[in-house]
Structure 1
């Protein structure tokens, strides 16, 4: 069995992983490990010796060393390099007896190795082969750390023997596991001393130390000091208290600290960090509240470094006009009394949906206002000659009831059952594909996708936008309840109850103090469409229970969401097509909706 030399001052390790933030390096327990093997492939196994040293705060807490029987002869060149021969390991314990001892020795510590991928790769492969669960250690590799602070003028390379000589290590590495681990301990401590002036003083700093961060950015890390480790929204502020950037996280301190490490690789954000002088936290009760507040703050402040949508008024809807002979129109605002689909993030995508409806239904495309009963016949357009317009303009003396049937079909496709459009375009895609007219088939597929997704979005928003008040609850992992009050799709109040607390009085208090929300014109919600999408996604999560609903909340059986799979008709064909505007399809994927019952 392996021999272990414990230290009399050994205490419980404090740092389990990089997930815990704010731990000074002198409080971190490191286990420096080195392996000797029969070869260079982890998949082949062949560990012949394990050596490990446990240290914290510069003090050695314990050591572990054991030869290992690899179950095969030691190659001659390995024996010459390490001094470990086949006869030496013949009576050594097998790896299945040594590995558990090492895993227990290193439990709750951060692994350190020189060229860590080699040693950690062998250990992980051994765990997989022997059926042990890998503890997912945080790992520090001294090689990239050395590359960061040791120049070529000081050392010709970053080998362990070279660094040990440079830093005057107490032990000279000799290709034996324990000696090499001891030498790596001295190298690690020397590297940490050099990294400290660069601001690398905590474990989370060490995680990105190998990837240099500009000094002026790293110095800003103090902006994260004092931030709570709680869900919420953070605002980076610049000169004149200008809001530069708004973000959200389940752990404010952890997320903000990441902006000053190598984890942040976005050039624009690094530019933002350079001019920021403060970070304002907004602690939220739940992650949903944090996401909603982020959207509202972005819409309010329009930060120049946020790229996401912050102008709901710029989103487009497709509307069937309120005329004697209705037609389709792309509008910015929903109007009462007429059906709409959307919203669309761009006018181009809305126009694609309009084209889909025109491909399937002979709606008029002219913009003239036609009387219900004309005295004289008008001149039919070219589309009428091609059978793509019902031409109500040529009817005289009586109303064109044939066009009424077309308008009713369009109204049904927009509000309840899009089958007429889906079936017509799906059949057309099939014919075009059979004729190998792939570009045309791709264009029709793009239009179909735009129509179905816009219709599904509107049909999903409509019932919750009409609902004056909806109260829902979801159990928390702690045993309490997460409560929300939604009014016309807008988050009006939220709270979390304790496991021992009756949630109904909290519900009553939330309803009494919730924000007053004026009813919108459905299907438009009384908030940013992205906020409504967040709220709906939360309401549709497993385990959510309805406490109170003031209006019927249901989805039609034959809604557009039921055809969501047909929105990707002929995926192969669609993949061959590039959008006509030269940009990727900017229609978001539809969110699945229950096809019956109250949502």
Structure 2
């Protein structure tokens, strides 16, 4: 577990405060609501605590200075009458502040004037990094230290060398000392970069900021991170060991950068703020590849069911549509797959989706919908669905067992091989409903068929990988190759071949050390559905090369319809040449070369 060190490392990402040059600026204006104009600009350039230069000039506002402003600032009409206009002053100030971090007390006021001045005079407004000492003070200082965060109050608190007096240069000089005082206050909290200091001007709770040092020793590699909470064991706990709870599991390409975001304003989720306050540390597990991190995250979420992970906590909660194995099979929605000889189709994340597919089948095929076990030798009375021609009525002997078996085979084919017959079976009805402007009924049928087509794609992606005893695949990442061994849809081993390695040798070593995986009852993979889908996503990326395969990784012809083809079929169109052929093939001219051509 990563513990909280006393001070963060200077190797952390970001721009070190000690390496920056700051221009601390203050403006005086005429104070009018609509005609407010600049009367004086004062600025101090500092670096590493050393003053590098100062900038001060009065500005002719081309309007009268109100008496109240003249009394407050001491700047009169006579003083600014001979001063240069803003169009002569602004270029000089922009050159003085070029490449610096702009600092001001109540920075939006000063930067707002500078932005409008640039826009009015045709200059591009510089994209300065900006620090606001007033906002920083509100976050850093406690209420019992200062009654407010006015510049005069902060100057007294930090005992600045000069006293602010509403003149631009003097106020800027006082702001320099205030800035240095604020930086000293946050240095012992691990704030050493500009990015860190900017975070203090945002609404981040002190508890989160204090724990940012947890990221100090986290590696900058791909992997998985776990926020954990350890509590002292109760009296009934054997051995008196501390109880460890996993609060949240995540993954990242850069663990340190990702973990750091939880302690900054970049993380805006309210439940994450609560999670960080409850956590006592962060654990990390570096991974060789991003796919390994993706899979490990899913496995850890399934193992620990963290309370702050909203997705994937219960991957086993899926539904399947089952064609029962009996004399007159029927459709049933079940929670799992068993090795009982029946046909299963799915999986479905929601039971409603499974019900939609069942109703889509009933829309196209007169399959029986009753749940009773029928006898092939003892007929029984038919239900109302038979009279409505929604059921072929095997119960009363209207169809024999062989005819009903042919119907079941059509349903099995529509679910597991080619959904087009199911689409064609209701296309005439769908077209009629559209013509009669019965759009709500048409939309219901369309949604059911679309769910069928979408689930068919998921079914074949998962079942095709589950049926493959072994796939060894590689993909170039940078100067090397990520190599994965997949067995029955489960990630069994991972290897990385650098540019100095022979990929085939690394692949053989990866296969030799791979996990032994036993197949699950088909169409289930030997892993969670989500893990197998993650693997399928990776295998289907451009540039993946199949180095070795045992079994067939393919989809049936026309097993999956894209949305446009689906709508075309649903409205009575014919099968076109755009059907999906093979999940593992790449007919394009840029298809990756075969195993033999994969060189070092």
TM-score, length of structure 1 as denominator length: 0.74
Report matched runs for 1:399-438 at 5 Å: 399=401, 401=403, 403-423=404-424
1:263: Cα distance to partner? 4.3
Q: 1:201 aligns with which of 178, 191, 197?
A: 191
Corresponding residue of 1:526: 526
Q: Secondary structure at the match of 1:554?
A: coil
Does the CA-based 8 Å contact 2:419-2:452 persist in structure 1? no
Q: Alignment RMSD, CA only?
A: 4.6
Corresponding residue of 1:367: 371
Corresponding residue of 1:391: 393
Corresponding residue of 1:285: 288
In 2 relative to 1, CA 184–498 (structure 1 residues): closer, same or farther, beyond 3 Å? farther
The structure that has the greater radius of gyration is 2
The Cα offsets for residues 190-247 of structure 1, whole Å up to 9 and x where unpaired, read as: 33344457x3634354343234555455444444442222221122242224232322
In 2 relative to 1, CA 89–558 (structure 1 residues): closer, same or farther, beyond 3 Å? farther
Name the CA distance, whole Å, in 2 between partners of 1:389 and 1:598. 40
Does the CA-based 8 Å contact 1:362-1:390 persist in structure 2? yes
1:509 pairs with 2:509: yes
1:457: Cα distance to partner? 0.4
Corresponding residue of 2:588: none
1:189: Cα distance to partner? 2.1
Report matched runs for 1:221-232 at 5 Å: 221-232=212-223
The Cα offsets for residues 333-381 of structure 1, whole Å up to 9 and x where unpaired, read as: 334655433211232332222222222322211122334xx34532221
1:531: Cα distance to partner? 1.0
Report matched runs for 1:202-241 at 5 Å: 202-203=192-193, 205-235=196-226, 236-239=228-231, 240-241=242-243
Q: 1:88 aligns with which of 84, 87, 96?
A: 84
1:307 pairs with 2:310: yes
In 2 relative to 1, CA 385–298 (structure 1 residues): closer, same or farther, beyond 3 Å? same
Q: Secondary structure at the match of 1:76?
A: coil
Name the CA distance, whole Å, in 1 between partners of 2:28 and 2:434. 59
Corresponding residue of 2:246: 244
Report matched runs for 1:126-145 at 5 Å: 139-145=130-136
In 2 relative to 1, CA 362–130 (structure 1 residues): closer, same or farther, beyond 3 Å? farther
1:332 pairs with 2:323: no
Corresponding residue of 1:474: 475
1:522: Cα distance to partner? 3.3
Report matched runs for 1:448-487 at 5 Å: 448-477=449-478, 479-487=479-487
1:434: Cα distance to partner? 6.0
Q: Secondary structure at the match of 2:84?
A: helix
In 2 relative to 1, CA 487–53 (structure 1 residues): closer, same or farther, beyond 3 Å? farther
Does the CA-based 8 Å contact 1:432-1:438 persist in structure 2? yes
1:189 pairs with 2:180: yes
Corresponding residue of 1:345: 349
Q: Secondary structure at the match of 2:12?
A: coil
Corresponding residue of 2:592: none
Number of equivalent positions: 539
Question: Larger deviation: 359-368 or 147-156?
Answer: 147-156
Name the CA distance, whole Å, in 2 between partners of 1:520 and 1:49. 79
Q: 1:76 aligns with which of 63, 67, 83?
A: 63
Does the CA-based 8 Å contact 2:424-2:569 persist in structure 1? no
Name the CA distance, whole Å, in 2 between partners of 1:133 and 1:499. 46
Corresponding residue of 1:255: 258
Name the CA distance, whole Å, in 1 between partners of 2:41 and 2:179. 19
Does the CA-based 8 Å contact 1:375-1:396 persist in structure 2? no
Name the CA distance, whole Å, in 1 between partners of 2:167 and 2:178. 16
1:538: Cα distance to partner? 1.4
Question: Larger deviation: 427-436 or 199-208?
Answer: 427-436
The Cα offsets for residues 96-116 of structure 1, whole Å up to 9 and x where unpaired, read as: x9868855x33xxx5544455
1:493 pairs with 2:485: no
Report matched runs for 1:11-90 at 5 Å: 21=12, 27=18, 29-32=20-23, 34=25, 55-60=46-51, 62-63=52-53, 76=63, 88-89=84-85
In 2 relative to 1, CA 92–194 (structure 1 residues): closer, same or farther, beyond 3 Å? same
Question: Larger deviation: 383-392 or 428-437?
Answer: 428-437
Does the CA-based 8 Å contact 1:426-1:569 persist in structure 2? yes
1:447: Cα distance to partner? 2.9
In 2 relative to 1, CA 233–102 (structure 1 residues): closer, same or farther, beyond 3 Å? same
Q: Secondary structure at the match of 2:316?
A: helix
In 2 relative to 1, CA 420–89 (structure 1 residues): closer, same or farther, beyond 3 Å? farther
Q: Secondary structure at the match of 1:227?
A: coil
Name the CA distance, whole Å, in 1 between partners of 2:496 and 2:425. 49
Does the CA-based 8 Å contact 1:552-1:598 persist in structure 2? no
Q: Which consecutive residues of structure 2, in runs of 5 or more, have no partner in the other structure?
A: 1-9, 32-36, 232-241, 571-577, 586-600
Q: Secondary structure at the match of 2:538?
A: helix
1:288: Cα distance to partner? 1.6
Q: Secondary structure at the match of 2:482?
A: strand
The Cα offsets for residues 375-422 of structure 1, whole Å up to 9 and x where unpaired, read as: 453222122222222222222694352x34432332222122212334
The Cα offsets for residues 141-173 of structure 1, whole Å up to 9 and x where unpaired, read as: 334223324678987875667755765555677
1:458: Cα distance to partner? 0.2
Does the CA-based 8 Å contact 2:25-2:44 persist in structure 1? no
Question: Larger deviation: 389-398 or 316-325?
Answer: 389-398
Name the CA distance, whole Å, in 2 between partners of 1:131 and 1:430. 62
In 2 relative to 1, CA 509–151 (structure 1 residues): closer, same or farther, beyond 3 Å? closer
1:305: Cα distance to partner? 3.4
Q: Which consecutive residues of structure 1, in runs of 5 or more, have no partner in the other structure?
A: 1-18, 41-45, 571-591
Corresponding residue of 1:560: 560
In 2 relative to 1, CA 50–278 (structure 1 residues): closer, same or farther, beyond 3 Å? same
Question: Larger deviation: 316-325 or 206-215?
Answer: 206-215
Q: 2:362 aligns with which of 358, 363, 386?
A: 358
Name the CA distance, whole Å, in 1 between partners of 2:42 and 2:506. 58
In 2 relative to 1, CA 382–253 (structure 1 residues): closer, same or farther, beyond 3 Å? same
